Structure 1
Amino acid sequence: MMITLSMIVKDEEKYLRDCLNSVADVVDEIVIVDTGSTDNTIEIAKDFGAKIYYFEWIQDFSAARNFALSKSTGDWILYMDADERLEKSSIDEIIELTSSLEKKAYLCKIICPIQNSNIPEVIKYVRLFKNSTEIRFTGSLHEQITPSLDMNGYKILHSSVEIFHLGYNVSTEEMNKKYERNLIHLNDELSNRFDPYLYFKLCETYAGLGDVTNALKHYTILTQVAEAPSIYKAHAYKYLAYYEMENNNYIRALEYTLTGLSFDKSIPLLNIAASKIYLHNNDYLNAFNYSMIALETNRFDENKLFETYIEDEEIFLVAFTSAALAFNRDMYNYVYKKLQNYPMNIINDRRFVNLTFALFNDLQVEDSLIKSADSIVKQCNLNFILNLLKNYIDVETKLNILKRLEDRYEEEYSLLISFGKNLYEMKRYSEAAEKFDKALMKYMPEPSDLFLVISCNMFAGNFTKISHLIRLAENQYKSHPEIIIKLNELKVKLAAVNYKEDLNA
């Protein structure tokens, strides 16, 4: 069977050669429709023996695509953009899929690397279909072929064909130009006809531009559109949930997250959002369970038309943290065993995993891990390690690790408080007070920590400092009567201590 690569291009000299190289061993005909290039695009196309046609741009992608189809003579059509590359391993599959003349079309995996992210977005679009004069693209922007295929009785099937789309792996400036261009077309088209797919793209475009006000407005409207597919609504709730999380409104965030999951339980970002919210709410069992669901759903599913995936490392860290805060060895070791089935580089530094495993199970920590703790423990998982150290039995090892961590995170409030607490438990009050002093230069502690700091200074004999702390606390917690009562009790005790000192003097 003859396969035609059908393309529309404009000023694509940066991308075109690699695109055409990627399909050279599978297509029999290359049809390129140029809409006004002023660079070397045409010369590159000629190098590959392409049939070149010209089409005056009329702000309509479907019109240009359909013109390209009218010039394509192959039995099958593969359509791509210049900034796309066919994965070499997909060539044999394409040859096999196009071995008949049945009215079929195939969904292909479009893998979209994202700027400043290690995890791509994966979308499934029909890119390969049996050629027919009856098949036409529709939509001036985000053109679609599926409606025409459905109308003409085509079977739309899944495939494993992979196409890498580089258009999102560009600078923020370039991406914003695309979004601005698309926004104009989307609003124009939606003013003439409402289409849930286009409306979803409008929401994504506002989100991509960072226009939070319009993104929130339109995603909220989308959740109420009866004819919108469930997957669109689920992703709308995902955006709303993450917005509320960023603004520390965890009650509303959880509502949006669970509503989104009611439409689609398999969205990794919603499951990890639920896990983080429950973690914030100290519901460690639910946090752990949702992290495990996130891990299971963070895999390509051929039945899903699109999905944004997340790094497995992020999921494992949330799961480990949930287990650590619950101090549940069964949960922790379950995650640890799961991790063994993943590539070594899933968590960038396996020394981190070995360190946490030893701490959680009260095992002896290797000297090499103690000495390199400052390089092993990153900012993003510091609090996780501190929680593990809280319950670790070997006091000397614990202090040695804290010392190493202080070399790197000497200004980190949570580390200083943790270090101070451990020294306090060892009755090394003066040293503990020094750590607490450094921490107080950053933040006023939580009430429970505040009274510990005051107690520490009392044992250390720093009575002047205690008076200063009480004044600070009275100002900070003046709207909390239960704390003020305790502070007044402390003032009475402190006055009694000062009175005795005066007598002894």
Structure 2
Amino acid sequence: MNITGCVITKDEETNIEKCLNSLKETTSEIIVVDTGSTDNTVQIARDLGASIYHFKWENDFSKAKNYALSKATGDWIIFLDADEYIEQHSLKEIMNCVRIAKTNGYDGILSTLINYNTETTEIQSTVQTLRIFRRDSNLKYFGAIHETIKHVTKQLKLLDFSKEISIIHTGYSNNEIERKQKGQRNLLLLLSDEKKNTNNHDINFYLSETYNLIKEYELALFYALKAHVEKETELLGTKEKNYLNIIRYLRKLEYPSEQVIRIIKEASCKYPSYPDFFVYIGDFNRFYQQFYDAIFMYEKALFLINDISQVETQTTGLLIPIYQQLSNLYYHTNDYSKTVHVITSILNTDRYDFSLLNYLIKILLINREDEMNIINFLEKIYRVDVPKDLIYLSKSAINNGSYILANYFMSLLRSFSSELQEEELELAILNEDYVIASQQFLSLFHMKESELQYLKKAIISSLLSKDETTRNKVFQTAYKNTGIDLKELLDEPKNNQYSQEELELVLDIIKEFYRLSKYEEIDNVLKKIKNDEILLATAELFYQNKNFGLALHFFDEYLHNKTEVEDELYLNILCKSSDSLYQIGELEIAEKYIENAYYISQNDYFIYSLWLKIIMGLKANERIIEVAQRAVDTFPDSNYFITILESLGITTQVKEEEEDTLRSILYSESYLQRLDDLAADLIKVGKDHEAIPIIRFLSEMGTIVK
């Protein structure tokens, strides 16, 4: 069985070699049809063994591709664009897939097209595509642009091997867009086609995408709205993708966020199997701190991505960011096991993401895991015989203030004759060699006086050393370089009269004491400083790091010291105090705090979610129903609150289908006026050919054109 590889080209010398090399392993011949290259494309293709044909460009991709098909002799065809190539792992699958398709009478094989940005090394989107098909005189390409392969008399019978075969497309990386001027080229072809065939509704979709490519978002929105309203299309997945495009354009054009959210939710109801909408909703939930619903939406998107077919999706390119967001959300909602699971999964694909490694060790320490167990766990991800891995592990262990982890990984690193100067000094602090650490950090600061972090480390070390000589030397250097008298600052209370620079330095000292688990030192500083701003920041520091007992202590102390607290701040403290009480098991007191918070605000998502957790812990079923119902009344779109009610046998009222917001936008008086202005602007700059379709639409709407 012979397979022919087909490619049409023009000025593709940077791409053609990779494309043809990916075809050589599975094809018996390669046909290259060149439409007028002026670079070295043809010679490269000839040197790679391709049969070269020349075709005069007629502004019609189908004509050029059908000419290539006429030169093929194989039983089956693989047709690639010159800026595409078959992914290496897919090459061994192709012959077997073709054999199965031929035996069972299929016309073609579906594969996955991966739009890949070579500059950012990111996947932009994925979509099923038909690039492998039987050679048959009745199988031809149709359409001057965005051409599709069709049978002239019947529906194609297709075999889905999209999970086995992937084709990489690099043509929409920014440099490629600029080099080929794809947007302008596509626009001329599409406008010409639109003029000749006004009944081809797919053209509106393609015009929208083309205007987006050249960043003309008003025009992109117009054609996308037209494509939505006309609805007739032969292209699978176009409706979903068009909705997604419209959402993107509305955001670019700064339409009200409430309107955009409503449209996204409409889209998710109409296309409940399309993951991208749920990612958008998850993003909005996260922005508004509706964490449990954000988790629900992200998890749903990840579930749906496994079964999506024949629809272009961007979710595949967002997997790592989605998992990163989920890890943060799990952490915020105190689900440590899921947080660790997700971070570990990401690190197994890229173990050199330092921020995530740092985050992982932090969570394991917060969860009070034994350090030796942490070491064993980390050694399943990292190689302790690789210096780079040990550097990452050492730095992260030090950042998290674990002397056991730091000593272990640093000792292994030294065996490779590798030393980290600053980390060795940090290790001295962890090992309580404070005088040495202070002296050497001070020396580092003298060498690099712009690096204030060295001075701060010297201050911390000197304070912990209890050595008067060391302390005085560091304090003198600090006064000389910052103008702050540390002895006066730390030993002589000023009754809240501190400069901003002084407060920032004190807070840095407290944060460093926290990293080193020197809680008594923090308490001593607070007793001397007696500053409400610092006290509140300290409470927040403990709360964010899940040290709920001490967070509660400092929040209480802050409220005790203050005679008046603004409602918003008081509400924030009540909520966090209630959460802290819940986390340490004081559920009844926690409920009293959250009830007080509820009296201040009845529209706070966190209040409802925490209140429900507390009373579920108390097993107060009647109150659970009451609070959950209030939550659903306030947040009727919340899947989290609805699920709680349904788990108790309470069915929520199903909302009636909403109006078509996109249709109402397109036909609104304000939008028609906007289009009128747009058409006038295009005519002013000599773009009459772009204005004509808009004028035609406005005339159909009975709008007087300027």
Residue in structure 2 matched with residue 222 of structure 1 by the alignment: 227
Instruction: Find the aligned partners of 1:207 and 1:141 in 2 and give their Cα distance.
Output: 16
How far residue 427 of structure 1 moved from its aligned partner, in angstroms, is 5.9
Q: Which amino acid aligns with 1:264?
A: Y
Residue in structure 2 matched with residue 36 of structure 1 by the alignment: 36
Q: Which amino acid aligns with 2:109?
A: Y
Equivalent of 1:199, from 181, 196, 204? Answer: 204
Residue in structure 1 matched with residue 113 of structure 2 by the alignment: 110
1:112 touches 1:165 (CA, 8 Å); kept in 2? yes
> Is it true that 1:154 corresponds to 2:156 in the alignment?
yes
Q: Secondary structure at the match of 2:85?
A: strand
Equivalent of 1:138, from 137, 142, 146? Answer: 142
5 Å matches for 1:437-452?
Answer: none
Equivalent of 2:184, from 157, 180, 188? Answer: 180
Instruction: Tell me the TM-score normalised to structure 2 length.
Output: 0.50
Residue in structure 1 matched with residue 317 of structure 2 by the alignment: 310
Equivalent of 1:232, from 235, 238, 263? Answer: 238
Equivalent of 2:302, from 284, 292, 295? Answer: 295
Change (3 A) 1:176 1:225: farther
Change (3 A) 1:27 1:369: closer
Instruction: Find the aligned partners of 1:170 and 1:256 in 2 and give their Cα distance.
Output: 29
Instruction: Find the aligned partners of 1:242 and 1:36 in 2 and give their Cα distance.
Output: 36
Q: Which amino acid aligns with 2:11?
A: D
Q: Secondary structure at the match of 2:303?
A: helix
Change (3 A) 1:210 1:116: farther
Residue in structure 2 matched with residue 21 of structure 1 by the alignment: 21
1:168 touches 1:175 (CA, 8 Å); kept in 2? no
**Residue-by-residue CA offset, 1:245-276 (whole Å, 9 max, x unaligned):** 67484422321221222233344432222112
5 Å matches for 1:91-110?
Answer: 91-99=91-99, 100=102, 102-110=105-113
Q: Which moved more, 1:105-114 or 1:421-430?
A: 421-430
Instruction: Find the aligned partners of 2:529 and 2:243 in 1 and give their Cα distance.
Output: 50
How far residue 292 of structure 1 moved from its aligned partner, in angstroms, is 1.4
Residue in structure 1 matched with residue 258 of structure 2 by the alignment: 251
Residue in structure 1 matched with residue 329 of structure 2 by the alignment: 322
Residue in structure 1 matched with residue 584 of structure 2 by the alignment: none
Consecutive unaligned residues in structure 1, runs of 5 or more: 375-402, 408-414, 438-454, 461-481, 483-505
> Is it true that 1:273 corresponds to 2:276 in the alignment?
no
**Residue-by-residue CA offset, 1:133-154 (whole Å, 9 max, x unaligned):** 1221111111110xx2373453
Instruction: Find the aligned partners of 2:535 and 2:56 in 1 and give their Cα distance.
Output: 71
Residue in structure 1 matched with residue 268 of structure 2 by the alignment: 261
Q: Secondary structure at the match of 2:123?
A: coil
2:34 touches 2:52 (CA, 8 Å); kept in 1? yes
How far residue 83 of structure 1 moved from its aligned partner, in angstroms, is 1.9
Instruction: Find the aligned partners of 1:77 and 1:21 in 2 and give their Cα distance.
Output: 16
Instruction: Find the aligned partners of 1:362 and 1:240 in 2 and give their Cα distance.
Output: 48
1:111 touches 1:165 (CA, 8 Å); kept in 2? yes
How far residue 337 of structure 1 moved from its aligned partner, in angstroms, is 2.9
Change (3 A) 1:207 1:429: farther
Instruction: Find the aligned partners of 1:107 and 1:242 in 2 and give their Cα distance.
Output: 28
Q: Which amino acid aligns with 2:216?
A: D
Q: Which amino acid aligns with 1:140?
A: A
Residue in structure 2 matched with residue 124 of structure 1 by the alignment: 128
Q: Which amino acid aligns with 1:143?
A: E
How far residue 27 of structure 1 moved from its aligned partner, in angstroms, is 0.9
Structure 1 or 2: more helix by fraction? 2
How far residue 121 of structure 1 moved from its aligned partner, in angstroms, is 2.0
How far residue 433 of structure 1 moved from its aligned partner, in angstroms, is 4.7
How far residue 314 of structure 1 moved from its aligned partner, in angstroms, is 1.9
Residue in structure 1 matched with residue 656 of structure 2 by the alignment: none
How far residue 208 of structure 1 moved from its aligned partner, in angstroms, is 2.2
**Residue-by-residue CA offset, 1:146-191 (whole Å, 9 max, x unaligned):** xx23734531121222222221234176168111111111122122
1:244 touches 1:252 (CA, 8 Å); kept in 2? no
Residue in structure 1 matched with residue 217 of structure 2 by the alignment: 212
Instruction: Find the aligned partners of 1:64 and 1:310 in 2 and give their Cα distance.
Output: 32
How far residue 79 of structure 1 moved from its aligned partner, in angstroms, is 0.9
Instruction: Find the aligned partners of 2:276 and 2:12 in 1 and give their Cα distance.
Output: 34
Q: Which amino acid aligns with 1:55?
A: F
Residue in structure 2 matched with residue 392 of structure 1 by the alignment: none
Instruction: Find the aligned partners of 1:297 and 1:434 in 2 and give their Cα distance.
Output: 46
Instruction: Find the aligned partners of 1:70 and 1:213 in 2 and give their Cα distance.
Output: 41
Residue in structure 1 matched with residue 4 of structure 2 by the alignment: 4
1:230 touches 1:263 (CA, 8 Å); kept in 2? no
Q: Secondary structure at the match of 1:198?
A: helix
1:419 touches 1:432 (CA, 8 Å); kept in 2? no
State percent identity of aligned pairs: 25
Q: Secondary structure at the match of 1:151?
A: coil
1:125 touches 1:305 (CA, 8 Å); kept in 2? no
How far residue 125 of structure 1 moved from its aligned partner, in angstroms, is 1.5
2:362 touches 2:400 (CA, 8 Å); kept in 1? no
How far residue 205 of structure 1 moved from its aligned partner, in angstroms, is 1.7
How far residue 126 of structure 1 moved from its aligned partner, in angstroms, is 0.9
Consecutive unaligned residues in structure 2, runs of 5 or more: 375-393, 402-451, 457-502, 512-521, 538-556, 563-599, 601-706
Q: Secondary structure at the match of 1:311?
A: helix
Residue in structure 2 matched with residue 357 of structure 1 by the alignment: 363
Q: Secondary structure at the match of 2:130?
A: strand
Q: Secondary structure at the match of 2:127?
A: strand
Change (3 A) 1:428 1:177: farther
Residue in structure 2 matched with residue 372 of structure 1 by the alignment: 399
How far residue 50 of structure 1 moved from its aligned partner, in angstroms, is 2.6
2:98 touches 2:109 (CA, 8 Å); kept in 1? no
Q: Secondary structure at the match of 1:108?
A: strand
Instruction: Find the aligned partners of 1:302 and 1:267 in 2 and give their Cα distance.
Output: 7
1:62 touches 1:141 (CA, 8 Å); kept in 2? yes
Instruction: Find the aligned partners of 1:248 and 1:75 in 2 and give their Cα distance.
Output: 53
Instruction: Find the aligned partners of 1:252 and 1:176 in 2 and give their Cα distance.
Output: 36
Q: Secondary structure at the match of 2:165?
A: strand
Q: Secondary structure at the match of 1:227?
A: coil
Change (3 A) 1:120 1:363: same
Q: Secondary structure at the match of 1:85?
A: strand
Instruction: Find the aligned partners of 2:246 and 2:140 in 1 and give their Cα distance.
Output: 36
Higher relative contact order (Cα pairs below 8 Å, separated by 6+ residues): 1
Q: Secondary structure at the match of 1:56?
A: coil
Aligned-pair Cα RMSD in Å: 4.2
Instruction: Find the aligned partners of 1:172 and 1:81 in 2 and give their Cα distance.
Output: 13
**Residue-by-residue CA offset, 1:228-248 (whole Å, 9 max, x unaligned):** 468333333333434556748
Change (3 A) 1:428 1:176: farther
Q: Secondary structure at the match of 2:230?
A: coil
Instruction: Find the aligned partners of 1:188 and 1:53 in 2 and give their Cα distance.
Output: 27
Change (3 A) 1:357 1:184: same
Change (3 A) 1:310 1:265: farther
Q: Which amino acid aligns with 1:354?
A: L
Residue in structure 2 matched with residue 387 of structure 1 by the alignment: none
Q: Which amino acid aligns with 1:231?
A: G
How far residue 81 of structure 1 moved from its aligned partner, in angstroms, is 1.8
Structure number with bigger Rg: 2
How far residue 371 of structure 1 moved from its aligned partner, in angstroms, is 4.0
- Give the number of aligned pairs: 405
Q: Secondary structure at the match of 2:313?
A: strand
Instruction: Find the aligned partners of 1:428 and 1:268 in 2 and give their Cα distance.
Output: 55
Change (3 A) 1:39 1:187: same
Instruction: Find the aligned partners of 2:141 and 2:292 in 1 and give their Cα distance.
Output: 49
2:90 touches 2:165 (CA, 8 Å); kept in 1? yes
How far residue 21 of structure 1 moved from its aligned partner, in angstroms, is 1.7
Residue in structure 2 matched with residue 450 of structure 1 by the alignment: none
